[in-house]
Structure 1
Amino acid sequence: MKLSANLGFLWADRPLPDAINAAKAAGYDAVECHWPYDTPASETLAALRETDLTMLGLNTPRGNVEIGENGLAALPGREAEARAAIDEALAYARATVTGAVHVMAGNCSGPRARTAFVENLGYACKEAARDGITILIEPLNHYNAPGYFLNSTGQAADIIREIGQANLRIMFDCYHVQIMEGEVSRRLENLLPLVGHIQIASVPDRGVPDHGELDYGYLLPRIAAMGWERPIGVEYLPAGSAETEISWMARYR
């Protein structure tokens, strides 16, 4: 089982190039991140080439974080800002040979929000297709992301089927899905044709994925048996040094 270090949480106290090097030293097979925009893309690319790691994905900018914004793509009347955020994310992805962009919906609800989200995702898919980039959407739970527009795998699947673009996929975060819906292995198996990336963390504390409600010792072999061969994203909140919390990885290899 290949594993990807999410550098939004792991080694988040270090500059992104240093975090990439730390992930390599810890034995990860790939990396992903949240918002890399403070680091010049040329520096990120240099670190990726030095370590021979691939950046799997990054997020679109959230908007005004000081007032709690968590994405723009589903906010009615903010289409110009949402598409500028999509353009910025795609430009960074192209410059760093990153394979996917997670388009963040934002905090909103209702039919107008859904219309805005669908239209902005259609734009994102068209722009991303030029460079073979996948667009991801991720259902988030109401505890960590109260008010977030996208909160269930069924909702995400309906939107993907409506838009009908081959490069639009679900980011299936087992942590969020377990909290909101449960039945993680069955849902993942049913949705696998629509899934572009899988992430893991323990539930409910979002710590190292070796304890809690979800038994990854069972789930990860099930995922492999489904035919999944790409790296699994490790997106947990370290209790201490990420270097000292890698013994669990051997069990899942």
Structure 2
Amino acid sequence: MKFSANLGFLWTELSLPDAIRAARDAGFDAVEFHWPYDTPAEDVLAALKDTGLPALGVNTVKGEGNGLSALPGREAEARVAIDQAIDYARAIGSGAVHVMAGFAEGQAAHDAFVANLRYACDRAPDLITLIEPLNHHDAPGYFLTTSAQARQVIEDVHRGTCKLMFDCYHLQIMGGDLTRQLSACKDVIGHIQFASVPDRGRPDAGELSYDHVFAVIETMGWDVPLGAEYKPGGDTGATLGWMDRYA
């Protein structure tokens, strides 16, 4: 298996360029970001070139919640955030942008999200536009919560570059039956992330067996680095024993 370090959670005590170098030194195959916008793109790009690590993705900004793109009436703000993420992703050579939906519900929210995702896909056909269901414990009121809902959104967007960010942690909490969800969603998955359940810690703890989950992902022929998006609860380096186990 190959792994990507999500630097929104890992090595957060370091500057982003130094966190990229730490990920390289720890043996990660790629990196990904939450909101890297306070760090000049040229500094991130220099660290990526120095380490040889690819950048897999960035998120749109949260606004006052968890995104803007499913909020009716705020399309202009949502598209400014989408433009910012696309421009930053291109500047650092990242292959994907995660468009965050925000706290909303109902048909109007669905329609706004679909319209904004079409905008993102059309604005950046060279990138993957990702959407990610979040669980209702960590993000109560978030618009997108299940893989079935995500599939419907993707079908309504009707763009080949709109894909599902399959976060094992969130989807195990929301629906369980995780490996069947993986198989059912294989055709629309653009990225896979993981963490333990229920505490979102290192993957070799908790109630979910990643020995089994990663084996199923391998049988799918998935060869893109999986995103380690977990909370280390202290020194990141001290939590990385799982990499030897699963690599």
Corresponding residue of 1:200: 194
Corresponding residue of 2:227: 233
5+ residue gaps, structure 2: none
Corresponding residue of 1:176: 170
Corresponding residue of 2:116: 120
* Greater than 2 Å deviation, 4+ residue runs: none
2 CA distance for matches of 1:94 and 1:240?
32
2 CA distance for matches of 1:154 and 1:190?
9
Q: Is the partner of 2:79 in helix, strand or coil?
A: helix
The yes-or-no answer on 1:78 pairing with 2:69 is no
The superposition leaves residues 106-158 of structure 1 with CA deviations (integer Å, 9 ceiling, x where unpaired) of 001111111100100000000110xx100000000011111000001000001
The superposition leaves residues 77-114 of structure 1 with CA deviations (integer Å, 9 ceiling, x where unpaired) of 00000000000000000000000000000001111111
AA at the equivalent of 2:52:
D
The superposition leaves residues 30-84 of structure 1 with CA deviations (integer Å, 9 ceiling, x where unpaired) of 00010000000000000000000011011001113xxxx1100000100000000
AA at the equivalent of 2:236:
A
The yes-or-no answer on 1:104 pairing with 2:109 is no
Please give the residue correspondences for 1:27-66 in structure 2 after superposition, counting only pairs within 5 Å. Answer: 27-64=27-64
AA at the equivalent of 1:109:
E
Corresponding residue of 1:214: 208
Percent pairwise identity? 57
Question: Could you tell me how far 1:162 is from its partner in structure 2?
Answer: 1.5
Question: Could you tell me how far 1:239 is from its partner in structure 2?
Answer: 2.0
Superposition RMSD on alpha carbons, in Å? 0.6
Q: Aligned pair count?
A: 247
Corresponding residue of 2:139: 145
TM-score, normalisation: structure 1: 0.97
AA at the equivalent of 2:99:
V
5+ residue gaps, structure 1: none
2 CA distance for matches of 1:144 and 1:111?
23
